Amino acid sequence: MYTKEQIGQWLSDNCTLTPASRCAKNTGLNDIHKIIFNHKNSITKAKAVRDLARFYSDKNNIIDLWEGSKPGIIPGSGLREEEKAFISAMVRLGGKESLLLSKSIADEYGIVYAREKANRWDSDNPFSGYGYHLAFLHVILKHHPSTKLPVFFPGGRIMPPFVLEVLEPIIPRLEFKGRDYAPGSDERVISRENRIVDFTSIVRFFTSEEAKVKSGTCDITKAKLAKLASQLGVDEICDVGGKFSTPKQATRINDFKVTLPLFLLSMNAGILEADSNNRICPGKNASLTFSLEPHMLARRLFDDYISSRSICETHYLTHIMIRCGDKYVNWPQCRKPIIDMLKNCPVDKWIDFEDFRKHMLLYSEDFFRDVLDDTVYLQGVNSVDYYGSYNPDWDECDVQIIRLVLSFMGALGMLDIAYREDVTRFELVRDDRCIGIGGFRITPLGAWILGLADDYDAKSPVVSSDEGGLLVQPDYTIVLSGMQTRIVHEPFLSGFLTKVSNDQNIAMYKIDFNSIIRAYNKLDRIEPMRIMSYLREASSRELPENVVRSFNDWQAKVGRVKIRTVTLLETDNELLLQELIHARGMDKYIASEIQYAAEIKSQQDCSGVKKIAENNGWLVIRDN
């Protein structure tokens, strides 16, 4: 709670004695003092601050202003319904006014601006946006000059934090108001609540499929994305010119409404990752697809998504560009208002997307622009026939972001989504259409993840986590069977073993001396005994004796051959060399004598020497 001293300081710093420029009448410390203490005299700012700080420090005074349920210090306390609607909106917006929302409340309650001919662009109309502070307060005072509403805004610009603090616990939760809606026959509904196990199949697919991402991004080819969609058997929606199309007809990865979010969510959560060569492979968290029940996995993926800065929604909106780059946007903060608005929607009931759009426009109009530190624009040139370089409006950019966030949640099974064709995308581009969202429904899974339900009745089967294993055979073949086994062991073994065969269920590798050389040549010099210990611990059976003997033989060759760069003291005979080595003061310069060494002609010949030594069965240490 704010103290009387803190409130007094805020009033002194943020309020004028009389109404400030463009602020409504009856604001300013002098007028607020008159309303509260029912007098007509002018007072000094110091007295106003002192008296008002005492008034606002008692939260019961503020509550009485809101409720008017008992006699209070102010005669006739209590607000009208339209005034409560405005206060509630202000509290939900953190004490600031949304001009669109204020205008909507005024329209709902039939409150019109006093001038009959005023229009939106009339600079004397508070709803015009021409610098008026608290437009609704200006308008309500025209109709009800004696209203107590100004007391909530002593400075005339925003709701003070000490008033906001008192009202937040008592303001009712936003009630989402929408029309009855049901998906039409021309819309396609995607329901994925029972398809969370697709993430296991995604890991399986990229274990056997060679695929790469573009360096520094998660961009995969549309052909590979189409193949993934086919392998998963997902009900995919592809947008080609605003028409429902097949994955093979897609022209870019942005066209995929289901498979692209599935892939990006997997990369973001570490279920998949790109190695140093940009090749897609199982990630450090791939085992989550086996160890977690599907609904727990969905919640984990959702939590990772809403906090992610690596998924940049505008990167996947065709023709939308941010001048400084997508990664400079605070994407977690951008997604939060969308998630918060969903929490106000009824569960298991179809919501018309247009109603959701309107609520976002009224309550979170700047959800994207507030976190955008640069310019967003439509890539191209100025023409009505193709895409022009101009700043897209709210429906052209911000609404597309809302749709994409909902699509990510649809891919996770949190929402059932009804997609529709031929939705206008860019107003200034002739015949530009895209696939939009007609409506959506929060599933029981979505309700549980969003905190709208206390528990979730999981109906999806849990994927078995004990299938397969690792087996080392006498012919030096290592067999990895079962997806979980492959996820655990392949990231290490595939770095040096020779791959023999591979499919989605079984991978076979060969232990040979070339594999041992590759392991030994790594930066951390993986020695044969380390490999053997790893296989012993991972194998479901004892290692074959011949394989153990080979590892012991290879280990015996470790450290016996070296190629390194040294500076020599060289003489033409042994006696002279010994004389110099033992000369007074020489011992502090001589490291050691070298035995069993040969001079290599040049630095460029070191690789050839190393190769010949390895071909003769030796593990070579080469210092760089």
Q: Give one DSSP letter per residue of 431-468, joined into a string.
A: T-EEEEEEEEEE-HHHHHHTTSSS-----SPPPPS---
Higher pLDDT, 244 or 286: 244
When pLDDT is averaged across residues 175-200 and rounded to a whole number, the result is 92
**Dihedral class, residue 319 (left if φ above 0, else alpha if ψ from -120 to 50, else beta):** left
Report how far residue 405's alpha carbon sits from residue 337's, in angstroms, rounded to the nearest whole number.
Answer: 11
- Lowest-pLDDT range of 215-219, 310-314, 456-460, 541-545: 456-460
Please give the model's pTM, rounded to 2 decimal places.
0.72
Confidence category of residue 590, pLDDT binned at 50, 70, 90: confident
Q: pLDDT per residue over 600-612, tens digit each? A: 777 888 888 888 8
Report how far residue 150's alpha carbon sits from residue 159's, in angstroms, rounded to the nearest whole number.
Answer: 10
382 pLDDT more than 70:
no
Q: How far is CA 196 from CA 303, 414, 565, in A?
A: 15, 10, 56
User: How confident is the model at residue 459, as a pLDDT?
Assistant: 66
Q: pLDDT per residue over 25-45, tens digit each? A: 899 999 999 999 988 889 999
Q: pLDDT per residue over 313-352, tens digit each? A: 999 998 888 888 888 899 999 999 999 999 999 999 999 9
Confidence category of residue 593, pLDDT binned at 50, 70, 90: confident
User: How confident is the model at residue 600, as a pLDDT?
Assistant: 78
Q: pLDDT per residue over 86-125, tens digit each? A: 999 999 888 888 888 888 888 888 887 655 444 444 445 6
As a three-state string, the secondary structure of 86-139 is HHHHHHHCCCCCCHHHHHHHHHHCCCCCCCCCCCCCCCCCHHHCCCCCCHHHHH
Residues 135, 127: contact at Cβ < 8 Å?
A: yes
When pLDDT is averaged across residues 556-579 and rounded to a whole number, the result is 85
User: How confident is the model at residue 129, as a pLDDT?
Assistant: 58
User: How confident is the model at residue 462, as a pLDDT?
Assistant: 42
Single-letter residue type at 368: F
User: How confident is the model at residue 239, as a pLDDT?
Assistant: 94
Residues 247, 230: contact at Cβ < 8 Å?
A: yes
Radius of gyration of the chain (CA): 35
Q: How far is CA 153 from CA 86, 149, 307, 449, 481, in A?
A: 12, 8, 35, 38, 69
User: How confident is the model at residue 383, as a pLDDT?
Assistant: 46
Backbone phi, then psi, for 321, in 5-degree steps? -130, 145
Q: How many CB atoms lie within 10 A of CB 265?
A: 23
Report how far residue 150's alpha carbon sits from residue 163's, in angstroms, rounded to the nearest whole number.
Answer: 12
When pLDDT is averaged across residues 473-489 and rounded to a whole number, the result is 84
Residues 255, 238: contact at Cβ < 8 Å?
A: yes
Single-letter residue type at 40: K
445 pLDDT more than 80:
yes
Q: Which of the residue ranges 256-260, 467-471, 598-602 has the most confident prediction, judged by mean pLDDT?
A: 256-260
Confidence category of residue 460, pLDDT binned at 50, 70, 90: very low
Report how far residue 7's alpha carbon sits from residue 57's, in angstroms, rounded to the nearest whole number.
Answer: 7
Report how far residue 414's alpha carbon sits from residue 193's, in angstroms, rounded to the nearest whole number.
Answer: 6
Report how far residue 77's alpha carbon sits from residue 215's, in angstroms, rounded to the nearest whole number.
Answer: 64
Report how far residue 420's alpha carbon sits from residue 186's, in angstroms, rounded to the nearest whole number.
Answer: 7
379 pLDDT more than 80:
no
When pLDDT is averaged across residues 505-523 and rounded to a whole number, the result is 87
Report how far residue 337's alpha carbon sits from residue 358's, in angstroms, rounded to the nearest whole number.
Answer: 13
User: How confident is the model at residue 117, as a pLDDT?
Assistant: 45
User: How confident is the model at residue 400, as a pLDDT?
Assistant: 95
* DSSP structure class, residue 544: P
Q: pLDDT per residue over 397-439, tens digit each? A: 999 999 999 999 999 999 999 999 999 888 777 778 899 999 9
Q: How many CB atoms lie within 10 A of CB 281?
A: 19
Report how far residue 315's alpha carbon sits from residue 21's, in angstroms, rounded to the nearest whole number.
Answer: 43
Higher pLDDT, 217 or 461: 217
Confidence category of residue 208, pLDDT binned at 50, 70, 90: confident
Confidence category of residue 505, pLDDT binned at 50, 70, 90: low
Backbone phi, then psi, for 277, in 5-degree steps? -100, 15
End-to-end alpha carbon distance in the chain:
65
Higher pLDDT, 208 or 203: 203
Beta strand pairing call for 350-352 and 280-282: unpaired
